[in-house]
Chains A and B, each alone.
Chain A
Amino acid sequence: MAQPLEKVDRRDAKLALAHLFVAFTALALGGFAGLLQTLVRSGKFELPAGISYYTILTTHGVLLGLVLTTFFIIGFQFAAVSRTTGALSDGSRRTGWVGFWLMTIGTAMSAFFILTGKASVLYTFYAPLQAHAGFYIGLALVVVGSWVSGFAMFAHYARWRKTHRGQVSPLLAFMSVTNMVLWLVCTLGVAATVVFQLIPWSLGLTDRVNVLLSRTLFWYFGHPLVYFWLLPAYMVWYAVIPKVIGGKMFSDSLARLAFILFLLFSIPVGFHHQLLEPGISPFWKYVQVVLTFMVIIPSLMTAFAMFATFESYGRSQGATGLFGWLRKLPWSDARFFAPFVGMLFFIPAGTGGIINASHQLNQVVHNTIWVTGHFHLTVATTVVLTFFGASYWLIPHLTGRVMTKAMNRLAIIQTIVWAVGMTFMSGSMHFAGLLGAPRRSAFSTYGNSPQALEWIPYQIAQAVGGTILFIGIILILVIVINLAFFAPKGETEFPVAEAAAPYERAALALENWKLWIGLVVALILIAYTVPIIDIIQNAPPGSKGYKLW
């Protein structure tokens, strides 16, 4: 008789589903804003009723960059932790719900001030543009809520370790904890600027703000933020996809090592977003550029592990020749196909990232629409397609349903639509950016400047891509709603791969959190202490707030 499927506890499933529900609502609204942006930028369309382009853009950035990602990730990780280390304790689950409601109330509050035009400061809210205090307070609640949920996961993991002394923790739990440690350490920076600088200043308790300090604290958070998005996608690649295709995980301990390297090298690197800024010495910029590039090592490990998994599986199925294994992969299974397309897009995406972070090349692309093209490949394709791929088993697993063949086919089409739309939109963003077209800008010919006229064909191509992508958003919403409410009842597996080789002792050593957190702190201190002291000691007079929209 077949073994019963290992399932996420029903009460934990509800917690995870609540997060996914907010995430997909954000996708629907944010996706519509994205469509409007591409239409405006084509020059052929104007927003009705005097709605500002920048209100729409703030909505899009906050909903997709911050809300969709954070909610999906925390929901997914609650499910992963519950699946691999057992049902949450009542205390942990209650803590998780407190986190969820804090984040949801915070989101609603920020959204209210954005949509009423009181916070058109974009999702990076650079001072001295000054939003309504409610916008910053809402964001602070989102961050605090995510911490509360992080602590629920830590507590659950600690309890598992106590009752399983001398055992290596399940890979997905280890990875979730690593990602939440990363998140906790990096959000300290953004929380510091929001709580100690921006909230008192927007409430009128202080009248001036140190602009460079605020930006530096923001970017201390802003880069690790992108790894917080990426690591859950890697969790799916390392720990789920091998099972989906019917193979084994290439190496459990190397996967853990890769995650620890991401934790170490994704934080002390925010200056690569500030390369063109005054007030920071080029020496410290270069130090952080070097640290930035260290993440190439775990990235190469990840690429190797993926292709090794695919090839070993193909050969175990009798594939021969150099590329024969490719034909053995389950191309018609959306749970595999969507993340796989995401992986392919990471090849140009990663290459673009190397260009952006280069000490000198950055000057060519900084703040051009090239950068927007870049992160629509990384987060809006690689990460998002992997999240979609995970939803195809996660949602039916949590709701006790099964994905039908028709929905699977629709999911394959969705993936192709997304890939085509993104190729148009992101591709033309990259080209226009190389010609100098700025990002975060409504349509303008800059007084019929010959340079700006050259960008228009690319902007029209972006609108074509944006329209195709919006069709992709409608398709994914149809699939998700079907899986949540209408798909036939049944049991769906939450796939978790086994390692090809038995656990190594090394894996146990990798759970030395005191060591890793100590190293993280040391690297941060090396990279940031001197420049931050400089920024504070040599600060110019602070800035008053401006509301220029």
Chain B
Amino acid sequence: MHIHKYEKIWLAFGIGCLIVFLTVVGVSAFAAGQQPPSCLTTIDPEKVDSTPPFDHPGLVKKGDKEYELNIVVAAFSFTPNAIEIPKGAKVTINVTSKDVIHGFEIPGTNVNMMVEPGYVNSLTTTFDKPGEYTILCNEYCGAGHHMMTARIKVVE
């Protein structure tokens, strides 16, 4: 097939960029561990209230400046819905849903993951700036979807 010289240059440049880009993405994923939230733990969605750690949702101290935050998500609320976190804390957030699919997002941070019945999802973040943060649901879950919210206060 005849390919024009300029098109060869254009494609070589494009494919070169693509390889560099995918390498950067791959290295940061597999060598630096920057993976999207992909927890593989399953749970019975109808027994969330009696399955640890979701039987006692909330913030749990795990070590020096290390915390676990377990949140139960259901239409149309987050439990607990008012959380205080010390500044600089490294927090692993675990979430699961008791009913339909929800989203878990904290605007202004990179905290964003899907919450699906039957699965625990999880990510780790550090709260460096004090202030009020909003948790909201960003996956449509029914009539009260846009009312679903909770607060995090990061304190000194």
Chain A residues in contact with chain B, CB under 8 A?
52-54, 120, 122, 126, 128-129, 211-212, 215, 251, 253-254, 257, 274-282, 285-286, 289-290, 293, 296-297, 300-301, 304, 308, 358-360, 362-364, 366-368, 435-444, 446-447, 449-452, 501, 504, 506, 538-543, 546, 548-549
Chain B residues with CB under 8 Å of A443's CB are 146
Q: Is the CB of B108 within 8 A of A278?
A: no
Inter-chain CA distance A535–B22, complex, in Å, is: 26
State which of A120, A278, A504 has its C-beta within 8 Å of the C-beta of B37.
Answer: A278
Inter-chain CA distance A52–B140, complex, in Å, is: 13
Q: Is the CB of A279 within 8 A of B18?
A: no
Chain A residues with CB under 8 Å of B68's CB are none
Q: Is the CB of B1 within 8 A of A438?
A: no
Report A256 CB to chain B, min CB distance, Å. Answer: 9
Report B119 CB to chain A, min CB distance, Å. Answer: 4
Q: Mark B32-59, 1 if CB is under 8 A from A, else 0.
A: 0011111111111110000000000000
Most buried by B among A212, A358, A446, A546: A446
Inter-chain CA distance A52–B146, complex, in Å, is: 12
Report B113 CB to chain A, min CB distance, Å. Answer: 5
Q: Is the CB of A366 within 8 A of B18?
A: no
Q: Is the CB of B140 within 8 A of A435?
A: no
Contacts A278-B121, A438-B103, A548-B100 hold; do A122 and B149 have CB atoms under 8 A apart? no
Contacts A251-B2, A362-B36 hold; do A441 and B146 have CB atoms under 8 A apart? yes
* Cβ-based interface call for B14 (8 A): yes
Chain A residues with CB under 8 Å of B130's CB are none
State which of A52, A275, A276, A290 has its C-beta within 8 Å of the C-beta of B22.
Answer: A290
Chain A residues with CB under 8 Å of B41's CB are 278
Q: Is the CB of A436 within 8 A of B45?
A: no
Q: Is the CB of B118 within 8 A of A504?
A: no
Q: Is the CB of B44 within 8 A of A541?
A: yes
Q: Is the CB of A301 within 8 A of B11?
A: yes
Inter-chain CA distance A312–B156, complex, in Å, is: 66
Q: Is the CB of A435 within 8 A of B107?
A: yes
Inter-chain CA distance A358–B36, complex, in Å, is: 10
State which of A52, A435, A540 has its C-beta within 8 Å of the C-beta of B42.
Answer: A540
Q: Is the CB of B25 within 8 A of A359?
A: yes
List the count of A-B residue pairs having beta carbons below 8 Å apart: 227
Report B147 CB to chain A, min CB distance, Å. Answer: 6
Chain A residues with CB under 8 Å of B29's CB are 282, 286, 359-360
Inter-chain CA distance A301–B9, complex, in Å, is: 11
Report A136 CB to chain B, min CB distance, Å. Answer: 17
Q: Is the CB of B11 within 8 A of A277?
A: no
Inter-chain CA distance A175–B91, complex, in Å, is: 52
Q: Mark B1-30, 1 if CB is under 8 A from A, else 0.
A: 111101100110011001001100110111
Q: Is the CB of B40 within 8 A of A364?
A: no
State which of A282, A296, A362, A546 has its C-beta within 8 Å of the C-beta of B142.
Answer: A546
Q: Is the CB of A543 within 8 A of B118?
A: yes
Inter-chain CA distance A362–B122, complex, in Å, is: 16
Report A232 CB to chain B, min CB distance, Å. Answer: 24
Inter-chain CA distance A441–B136, complex, in Å, is: 11
Inter-chain CA distance A542–B39, complex, in Å, is: 18
Q: Is the CB of A548 within 8 A of B143?
A: yes
Chain B residues with CB under 8 Å of A360's CB are 25, 28-29, 34, 36
Nearest B residue (CB) for A366: B112
Q: Mark B106-148, 1 if CB is under 8 A from A, else 0.
A: 1110101110111111100000000011101111111111110
Inter-chain CA distance A449–B132, complex, in Å, is: 8
Nearest A residue (CB) for B111: A363
Chain A residues with CB under 8 Å of B42's CB are 279, 538-540
Inter-chain CA distance A293–B25, complex, in Å, is: 12
Task: Jot down 11 A-B pairs with beta carbons below 8 A, ordered by A.
Answer: A54-B142, A257-B1, A278-B120, A308-B7, A360-B25, A367-B103, A368-B105, A441-B140, A447-B149, A504-B2, A548-B142
Chain B residues with CB under 8 Å of A282's CB are 29, 35-36, 38
* Cβ-based interface call for B93 (8 A): no
Q: Is the CB of B25 within 8 A of A289?
A: yes
Chain A residues with CB under 8 Å of B149's CB are 444, 446-447, 449
State which of B38, B99, B120 has its C-beta within 8 Å of the C-beta of A280.
Answer: B38
Report B150 CB to chain A, min CB distance, Å. Answer: 9
Q: Is the CB of A52 within 8 A of B143?
A: yes
* Cβ-based interface call for B89 (8 A): no
Chain B residues with CB under 8 Å of A440's CB are 138-140, 145
Chain A residues with CB under 8 Å of B44's CB are 540-541
